[in-house]
Amino acid sequence: MGSATSVDVTPAEMGASGSGEVVIEARNLTKAFTETVIAVQNANFSIPRGSFVSLVGPSGCGKSTILRLVSGLIDKTAGSVAVHGNEVNGPTGEIGMMFQKAVLLEWRTAVENVLLPTEIRGTITNEDKRKAMDYLHLVGLKDFEFSFPRQLSGGMQQRVALARLLQTGADILLLDEPFGALDEFTRERLNVELLRIVDGPEKTTLFVTHNITEAIFLADYVMVMTPRPGQLAKVIRVPFPRPREIEIEVTPEFQQLVAEVREVLGEFITGDDL
């Protein structure tokens, strides 16, 4: 089942995006849930500041696990993972997350949900409140600041989750298939908006998805994972300039990259032992 390749995404390889300073580093990162279920095996990668990295692979290949290891929500079995040079021991204020489900508190309005991280950290100042409102406007939810989650559509709920993520002020964003449950059109729109918001040297993003097109469209680098055991098979550089339009998805260059990813995933897509 594929050789145990360790893929090193070095700053040199990452090229000219950002300052080159490594913010997330994993060495031989391994996570085994039981003796036979090895979710991630010997993952190696270094992610430089300001880059957008997609992690793509079929369901169950361990990509969500890697995200949770980086965030500190679960403990590693072997190897190391460090954020800003510090070994990860648990969630820190430097990371912000978005999940597959918006996970908003139903009894709070949108803005109250956005303020949740601030609330947990301590007191809420007027400055915080202003920022929360601004973020909500930034994600396109003006006039919905006081709506409850149940009054919002799935796409809108994810936007609130995005605003909440921005509110944390974290410079490292970890997104776990946040648009997977949405329809194609909403997803595309949110993809564009996401890029608009996180573009630049301040924010480093690690984005997990099973959608190859989405992975390539968003990222500077695409890390391809294969399952059982979860391994990083290949890193593909995405050279398109920013800002990106949805239209590039139909260009031959783009499709070439898609083909490259598919090739790596090969047998896993045809599903011989899914």
Partner 1 sequence: MSAVDDTNIDEILESEFKTPYAQRMMIHTLTFLVLIGGWELASFLGYLNELIMPPPSWIAFRLYEMFFVTGSIYWHFFVTMFEATFGFIIGVSIGLSLAITAAISPVFRRYWAPYAVVFNVTPGIALAPFIIAWFGFGWSSKIALAALNAFFPVFINVLTGLLFVDKDMTELFNSLRANRRQYFWKLQIPSSLPITIAGLKLGMTTALIGAIVAEFFSATEGVGILMQRFAFRLNMDGAFATLINMSLMGLTLFTIMEYMDYKVLFWRRHKRMEEVSAKRKARWTMD
- Please report, as ranges, the residues that interact with partner 1 according to CB under 8 A: 71, 73, 90-93, 95, 97, 99, 101, 103, 105-107, 109, 111-112, 116-117, 119-121, 126, 129-130, 133, 145-151, 168
What is the residue type of 139?
A: V
Q: Which residue lies nearer to partner 1 by CB, 104 or 198?
A: 104
CB of 206 to partner 1, least distance (A): 14
Can you spell out the DSSP letters for 149-179? GGGS-HHHHHHHHHHHHHHTT-SEEEEESTT
CB of 107 to partner 1, least distance (A): 5
Q: Which residues of 65-79 are buried (b: 16+ CB within 10 A; e: fewer)?
A: bbbbbbbbeeebeeb
Question: What distances in angstroms separate CA 182 from CA 9, 155, 157, one per listed residue?
Answer: 31, 6, 11
Q: Which residue lies nearer to partner 1 by CB, 99 or 240?
A: 99
Nearest to 58 by CA among 220, 251, 272, 253: 272
CB of 54 to partner 1, least distance (A): 20
Q: Which residue lies nearer to partner 1 by CB, 45 or 144?
A: 144
Distance of CA 268 to the CA centre of its chain: 22
Q: Which residue lies nearer to partner 1 by CB, 148 or 240?
A: 148
Q: If residue 27 lies in a helix (H) or strand (E), which one and from where to where? A: strand 22-32
Q: Which residue lies nearer to partner 1 by CB, 4 or 120?
A: 120
Question: In degrees rounded to 5, what are phi and psi of residue 66?
Answer: -60, -45
CB of 55 to partner 1, least distance (A): 17
CB of 125 to partner 1, least distance (A): 10
